[in-house]
Copies of this chain bind each other. A is one copy, B any other.
Amino acid sequence: MATRIAEPVRGTDTEVAILESARDLLAEGGLAALSMRAIAARVGVSATAIYNYFENKQDLVRRVVSLGFERFVGYLRAAIEGVPPGSTERLQALGQAYIRFALENREYFRVIFASHADCPTDIEELPAGGGYNLFRQTVVDAMESGAIRRSDPDLVVLYLWTHVHGLVTLLLSCEPNARCRHTGEKLSAPELFGRFGDFVINGLKDRG
């Protein structure tokens, strides 16, 4: 038998280069800038060469989005490091990280949550691969420590997620500054999140 010379197939490099170019193009100019020809030009290859590695454009985008998601979960993980479990601060840290990711990776975020019926998913699979469970565990800890009142953790996760997601998508709809003017002042997403935190956490606490 032939000893496998462990040199990786040259094509694999190309695949990585395609994904990286696609990721960069997406970040720089949004979905509109993400064309097969543009990607190919960056990689230094013909547009049709891409079809050796990806079934079609949608498949490629799916892969790029998947990479973006890992990045997203990285934000969440980093956010709660050093913040004591069971505290509402930890919940807020997660929310802030969600916002930070969206603002620092706008095009990624947009594409991730613009899965226009192309790729039907169950809602909790979106931030899965650790994201959802991270969120959920933080909620459970907060309930057990008494920081928030006991109820269905999944419902609470979805509630908090809804809140932060809504804030981000609304502000992202109002490019270019992603800020909101109300009562005369301009507020950024993190500032608004801070102000809303009062309502949100209050709603989760025991009455009286």
Contact = CB atoms under 8 A, between A and B. Distances in A.
Given A154-B183, A162-B163, A202-B202, A114 B174 contact: no
Contact of A110 (B116, B180, B201, B207): B116
Given A114-B114, A174-B123, A182 B166 contact: no
Interface string A164-208: 111101110111110011110000000010011011111111011
B176 A166 contact: no
A3 interface: no
Q: Helix, strand, loop or mixed for chain A's interface?
A: helix
Contacts of A114: 114, 173
A73 to B, nearest CB: 17
B199 A203 contact: yes
Contacts of A51: none
B170 A161 contact: yes
A165 B155 contact: no
A76 to B, nearest CB: 16
B203 A200 contact: yes
Contact of A181 (B122, B181, B201): B122
A122 B204 contact: no
A149 to B, nearest CB: 9
A155 B180 contact: no
Contact of A174 (B122, B154, B175): B122
A12 interface: no
For the complex of A and B, 4 pairs with smallest distance between CB atoms: A166-B166, A203-B203, A117-B175, A154-B182
